[in-house]
Every structure is written in structure tokens, then in C-alpha cells.
Structure 1
Amino acid sequence: MADFDLTEGIRKLFLASVGAVAMGAEKSQEVVEDLVKKGELTVEQGKTLNQELTRKAKEVFENTSDSALRAHLASMTSEERAAYAKKVAQMSADIDAASVKVEVDEAEKTEDAAE
């Protein structure tokens, strides 16, 4: 029997759900645009409907990604989860440090321009 990699299966499921959400959002936008062209919806109603559909698609995506992450974490040992949490914390710290550097660089440019 072939080995089944649960992590790979979860990753594929996650990517498929992201693709489905993206396709659904694109198709709904096309439908709204067609209705506006036909005059069945005003432009303002179309914009409102499109914003609502986009919000719902984003909500589905966030719920799907949370479920995929939970399943991925459940497939790990406690040691693997601890290492993963440490890695995520380090990435977060790196991103925070990078944003501080950008802010400092922007402040220096502003000071140099003022002189």
C-alpha cells in the first residue's frame, strides 16, 4: 500500500479550497457586472453586492485556513508543535524588526530632505 502523507493531503485540500473561493469570487463579480450592464442593478447596488460577496469569500477563506492549520498542527507531535511555534514566533519577530527598520529609514530620509 502506498504511503499517504497527511500533511501533503491537507496542503492540497487547503489549496483547492483557496482556488474554489477565488473562482467563486471572480464568477460572482462577473455576474454582478452583467446585471449592471443589463440595467437590472444600479452601479451602486452592484458595488454593494460585490463588496458583500468579497467579504463573505474572505470569511470563508479565513475559516478554511484556520481549519487547515488546526489539522496540520493535530498531525504533529508536541515536540514538532513546539518547534513550529518557535519558528512562527521568530518569523513574527523578524517581520516586526523589518517594519521598524523601514520606519527608521523613512524618518532618516525625511530628516535628510529637510536639511
Structure 2
Amino acid sequence: MAAIDDLTEGARKAFLLGVGAVAMGAEKTQGVVNDLVKKGEMTVEQGKAINEELHRKVSEAAADSSDAALKEKLRGMTPEERAAWVKKAQQYADDLDAETVEVEVDETDDEHAKA
């Protein structure tokens, strides 16, 4: 089971490292876009479009980084360790699926529905 804990910690660190690097690059790029908009070299709409594209690429890069770290860690495990990790991950997923979700009801909406 130590391999499972190592996987979790290793994957978490690799994921955070990848996200941090991408986020820093995205932050600098966003600053450049904002400067271009301020200088009038780019319209606000063009700036928004670039920023939306940037956010999408950051999300994709973070997912790719996480997937690569997980695959690499799994590659270093024995088949038995991988099977134990999958079983534990499935239990986590089942536990999350079973959690009760509380929903707040706005009573003013309820009163409007009755009217």
C-alpha cells in the first residue's frame, strides 16, 4: 500500500508543478494581452477571446500533465500494486458518489412559484 500513497503524493506534486508552471506562463501572457488592449493595439473583444483561449489551454495542459505523471507512476508499479491502487481509487470514487449533497432552497422562489 505504500506504493499507492507514494503514487498519490507523487502525482499530486507533479500535477501542482505542471499547473504552477502553466499558470505562471498564462499570467504573464494575460498581462501582455492587457497591456496591448490598454495601448489600443488590440480590441477588448480580441483580448477577451485570447484570454478565453489561454484559459482553455491552461486547463488542457494541467490535465495532460496530471495524466502523464499518473501513467509514469503506474508504469513503475507491479501488476499487484496497480490492481490495489485501482481498487483504492474505485473505493474513493464510490465514497464520493455516495456522499449526500445538500441543496439550499430559496424560499422566495418557492413563494413565487405558488403565486
TM over 0.5: yes
Q: Which has the higher contact order (CA 8 A, sep 6+)?
A: 2
Gaps of 5+ in 2: 1-5
Paired residue secondary structure (2:41): coil
Match in the other structure for 1:90:
91
**1:106 is matched with which residue: 97, 103, 107?**
103
Match in the other structure for 2:58:
57
Task: Provide the C-alpha distance between the structure 1 equivalents of 2:97 and 2:74, rounded to a whole number of angstroms.
Answer: 24
Give the conservation status (yes or no) of the 8 Å contact 2:22–2:62.
yes
Q: After alignment, is 13-22 or 56-65 more displaced?
A: 13-22
**Between Structure 1 and Structure 2, how many residues are aligned?**
103
* TM-score w.r.t. length of structure 2: 0.75
Instruction: Confirm whether residue 36 of structure 1 aligns to residue 37 of structure 2.
Output: yes
Q: Aligned letter for 2:98?
A: A
Q: CA deviation at 1:9?
A: 7.2
Q: Aligned letter for 2:103?
A: E
Q: CA deviation at 1:11?
A: 6.0
Paired residue secondary structure (2:77): coil
Gaps of 5+ in 1: 1-5
CA offsets, 1:71-110, max 9 Å, x none? 0101111111111101110111111111xx21xx438x68
Q: For the aligned residues, what is the CA RMSD?
A: 2.7
Instruction: Confirm whether residue 48 of structure 1 aligns to residue 49 of structure 2.
Output: yes
Match in the other structure for 1:3:
none
Task: Provide the C-alpha distance between the structure 1 equivalents of 2:13 and 2:92, rounded to a whole number of angstroms.
Answer: 24
Q: CA deviation at 1:21?
A: 0.6
Give the conservation status (yes or no) of the 8 Å contact 2:14–2:66.
no
* TM-score w.r.t. length of structure 1: 0.75
Q: Aligned letter for 2:74?
A: L
Matches within 5 A, 1:74-85: 74-85=75-86
